[in-house]
Amino acid sequence: SSLACALSAGGGISSVYALMSRWCSTQLGARRLFTCMSQPLVDKKKIEERYDIVELFQTDEAFRRQVFCSHFKHVFDLDRLAGRFHRLASAAKDLDADAAPRGKKGGIFSRVKLTLEDLVKLYDCAVECTSLETTLRGYAGIHRESLEKAFTEPLSEAVKSFSTFINLVEFTIDMEEAKHGSFVISRRFDSELASLLDKKEELRSRMNRERQKAEDDIPFASRKRDTEIVKLIEDNTMGFVLRVTKKDQSAVL
């Protein structure tokens, strides 16, 4: 097997993949590692190019931290997200708009479980790729040519292809509401929608004032500047509630 045993029977790790995947911080990374190990490169030139990239990130710690810590925080599981878009495209091809029954509950988007939140997640990735491209182009260390060929140039093409999508999302989705975890169509499309969102913002502002009032009234032992001790959270059963951490509960009880 290409994923040969790493330890003898009785050991905690059963394969080379299991050993190496312990350092994968995401499922996406673990799947990519499995693909690389189960379908290894056989072309000498491509293998050497990959070695160049590995050496680059291994020797330049500052650049490695900048790429992985700064730019990958907003990257969603793109494999799963791509799967939803592929299912949507497939369903759209099979759907005869004229013959489809009108008023059918759910529609094509609900059938493939694709939501506005998914569009915003893809948007976040696309925007982050724009910033990542700038970082990669600014690299001037060893194996710069290999980095350009393997990552910078393909990423640049991807960024260009997503420019229209980025503009579309920014125009159609209320990005301010998205920051609060609410994914809705922009208020510019309907005056009634704008009115409802204004009321929602007013209610949120009132709740934040109540949160601040509660925090000011409770005698907490220690306070940190610009840190909220009392949190305003949304609960699935009780709606919006005020919450404090376990270490601060003694001041409330």
Is the predicted pLDDT of residue 6 greater than 60, yes or no? no
| DSSP secondary structure letter of residue 173 | B
C-alpha atoms less than 13 angstroms from C-alpha of 169 in its C-beta half-sphere: 23
pLDDT tens-place string over residues 165-203: 999 999 999 898 888 888 888 888 888 888 888 888 899
pLDDT at 92 over 80: no
The pLDDT assigned to 4 comes to 46
CA distances, 160 to each of 17, 38, 76, 165 (Å): 35, 32, 20, 10
- How much is the average pLDDT of 140-154? 94
Average pLDDT over residues 70-86: 83
Q: pLDDT tens digits for 205-226?
A: 999 999 888 888 877 766 666 6
Residue 156 has pLDDT above 90, yes or no: yes
**Rounded mean pLDDT, 88-100:** 65
State the first-to-last Cα distance of the chain, in angstroms, to the nearest integer: 60
Rounded CA-CA distance 143/205 in Å is: 52
CA distance 214 to 208: 10
User: Could you tell me the pLDDT band of residue 8, with boundaries at 50, 70 and 90?
Assistant: very low
Query: What average pLDDT does the structure give for the chain?
Result: 82
What does the DSSP assignment read for 161-193? HTHHHHHHHHHHB-HHHHHTT---B-GGG-HHH
Looking at residue 122, its pLDDT comes to: 92
**What's the pTM?**
0.69
pLDDT at 9: 45
pLDDT at 222: 64
